[in-house]
Amino acid sequence: MLGRIGVMIDLVQLRREPDIVKAALARRGVAPATMDAIIAMDVEHRELLQEAERLRAEVKFLSRLVGEARRDKDTETAATLTEKSRALGDDERVATEAMEQVGTKLHEELLMIPNVPDPAVPDGVDESDNVEVRRWWPGMDEGRPFPEYAEYQKVPHWEAGLELGILDLEAGARIAGSMFPLFRGAGSRLIRALSAFSLDRNAGDYEEIHPPTFALTATMMSTGHLPKSVDDMYGMERDGLWAIPTAEVPLTSMHAGEILDEASLPIRLCAETACFRREAGAAGRDTRGVLRVHEFDKVELFAYCTPEQGSSAFDDILARAEGVLQALGLTYRLLNLCTGDLGTSSARTIDLEVFSPGVDRWLEVSSVSWFRDYQARRAQVRYRTSEGTTALVHTVNGSALGWARVWAALIETYRQEDGSVVLPEVLAPYMGELRTIRPKTS
């Protein structure tokens, strides 16, 4: 039964306070009728379960008597009981099958239900209803106004990158098709530098992990990426594997099925991995340059924690993501995602968007999410409380950051009048002391 029933929202809570759950889920578009159907299915499943278990208990009881009769050499009684038990066994098989049929259907329905949104999540239908929390730009604290960008900064990165010989989109497309960028020379090193820079900032407090980039179907189920978002995932059918869309996938399952020590919480992890996204349905929209790509590198921060620690874990990851952007001197804003834009598994998400002057728009470079126990329930990650009971952990994660778009923002923001790019000083140690990327002079 473990891992089959109740792998989503809390089924116990749904039974106890159906109206509250229904109202909360209705905010994100789950029809109350859908939940009513699930509740009815749950009731039916339990009725069938009781009947099946009653028969099962009877068979077990009779079987024990058969054993005793045999031991007493009472073959006649044994034969009678065997016959009776056999007949009951047939009934039991039928009852169990009926129970499992409803159970499977219930399970499938439950897997499609998204997380219950936090009260702090604003109502809305799509990304246009997200609420801006605040913005930050270099010098803001000294009273400097929102930056004005010079004409030479308003060159999109695909032009600037081509000119500098650090981005070769044609080569990438030749190899893997469109939306697979190829960085070269200083551009390639910049990706590596950004990952190393971010990992070094955080690896002291967040244990550095280098996980697999492919995951089993069950693993993808745990985070909620499957079955709902199957069209956005790259799958390798022959091997039953999926390319991870984020390190959140392997990190969430790192402790799957375990009961953790409360004293060990929060467990904080960080990982840099390639991330793969099919971006189905996104063809042609905002896809120029590296605005939207199928593969990019990302540093992820992650925490398993108690429900009480959730809020501070969330704040810490958000602060660290902001810290990286501030250290890079990039302008960004925070968005509180509305119910319509919230990811399936998330109870609350803050997006970080960097401003990129060359394309004149805000680019999402991080998503900091609190999943409460939604993913932990699917992955069965629990902890032993001080009272000795078990409880599901909460999971929190956020990117710090996704590099392809940060790369673009850096190239555009720091582009100089002569076309060169002067990198933030903090990256110098990671760039082999290269501070300025200049056009190739032949």
Interface with RNA (CB under 7 A): 1-2, 5-6, 11-12, 46, 49-50, 53-54, 56-57, 59-64, 66-68, 70, 81-82, 85-86, 89, 259, 382, 384, 390
Pairing mode, if any, of strands 332-336 and 348-356?
antiparallel
CB of 109 to RNA, least distance (A): 16
Nearest Cα neighbor of 296 from 242, 343, 250, 243 is 243
Residues paired with residue 401 on neighbouring β-strands, in sequence order: none
CB of 300 to RNA, least distance (A): 23
Nearest Cα neighbor of 348 from 381, 313, 307, 396 is 396
- For RNA, the closer of residues 124 and 211 by Cβ is 211
CB of 63 to RNA, least distance (A): 3
Instruction: Supply 42's token pair.
Output: 């749950």
For residue 127, how many C-alpha atoms fall within 13 Å in the half-sphere facing its CB?
8
- For RNA, the closer of residues 227 and 257 by Cβ is 257
- For RNA, the closer of residues 52 and 330 by Cβ is 52
For residue 114, how many C-alpha atoms fall within 13 Å in the half-sphere facing its CB?
23
CB of 89 to RNA, least distance (A): 4
Q: CB of 232 within 8 A of CB of 278? A: yes
- For RNA, the closer of residues 62 and 321 by Cβ is 62
DSSP string, 304-355: EE-GGGHHHHHHHHHHHHHHHHHHTT--EEEEE--TTTS-TT-SEEEEEEEE
CB of 46 to RNA, least distance (A): 4
Rg over CA atoms, the chain:
27
Residue 312 neighbours by CB under 8 Å, 6+ apart: none
Residues paired with residue 362 on neighbouring β-strands, in sequence order: 355
- For RNA, the closer of residues 7 and 325 by Cβ is 7
CB of 254 to RNA, least distance (A): 15
- For RNA, the closer of residues 85 and 413 by Cβ is 85
In angstroms, the first-to-last Cα distance of the chain is: 68
CB of 281 to RNA, least distance (A): 33
- For RNA, the closer of residues 54 and 210 by Cβ is 54
